[in-house]
Amino acid sequence: IGARIIHRMVDGPLGGIAARVSVCTRCGLCEGRTNAVPGTGPASARAILVGEAPGREEDLQGKPFVGGAGRVLDKELERAGIPRSTVYITNVVKCRPPKNRVPSDEERDACIEYLKEEISVINPRIVCILGATALRSLLGLGGITGIRGTIINQDNTDYLVSLHPAATMYRRDLLPAFRRDMKKLAGMILST
């Protein structure tokens, strides 16, 4: 059993969202969590990266992408010239599903409002979709393979569709594509 994290209060609207996430009981995942995991990063971020849901390490630390997938993400962001501290990193679902199962439709629906708020507060240049759960939740689309690496504009927001970094741990052959996507993300961050 891990310890609950008392978050250092973040000012402003993002802090308000994080505070509400940390005590959220909108779905059953609140019962099994150690910590809810709000997004992290500056309100001035030009990019938001959206994963699926916290894993074990994230649940223990109360921070997104701090386990194995996070190490892949850190490395590939750095390789693409994107300091992690400049982007906002979050998940569709803010609490860890049991045994890291894929979140259910109900869990996604219960949580999606927080993600929409994070995106609307930050109003980023680009939202980077990391994997199938984020793709389904944000764009209502299934099947990453055909559209990976493309930018989709919906409701005046640009979305870059990419893989979940964990996928490259199981399938090393996917790493070059993920690297290209992170380079594309770097270009979008700098573009007007």
Pick between residue 57 and residue 117 the one whose CB is nearest to ligand URA: 57
Measure the CA–CA gap between 192 and 188, rounded to whole angstroms: 8
Q: Do the Cβ atoms of 29 and 58 come closer than 8 Å?
A: no
- Three-state secondary structure of 148-182: CCCEEEECCEEEEEECCCCHHHHCHHHHHHHHHHH
Instruction: Give the amino acid at 169.
Output: M
Pick between residue 126 and residue 167 the one whose CB is nearest to ligand URA: 167
Per-residue interface string for the shown chain with ligand URA, residues 11-50, x marking contact by CB under 6 A: ----------------------------------------
Per-residue interface string for the shown chain with ligand URA, residues 48-87, x marking contact by CB under 6 A: ---xxxxx--x-----xx-x-xx-----------------
Minimal distance in Å, beta carbon 72 to ligand URA? 10
Place of tokens 């219960």: 110
Residues 103-162 that bind ligand URA (CB under 6 A): none
Measure the CA–CA gap between 170 and 142, rounded to whole angstroms: 20
Binding site for ligand URA (CB under 6 A): 51-55, 58, 64-65, 67, 69-70, 91, 166
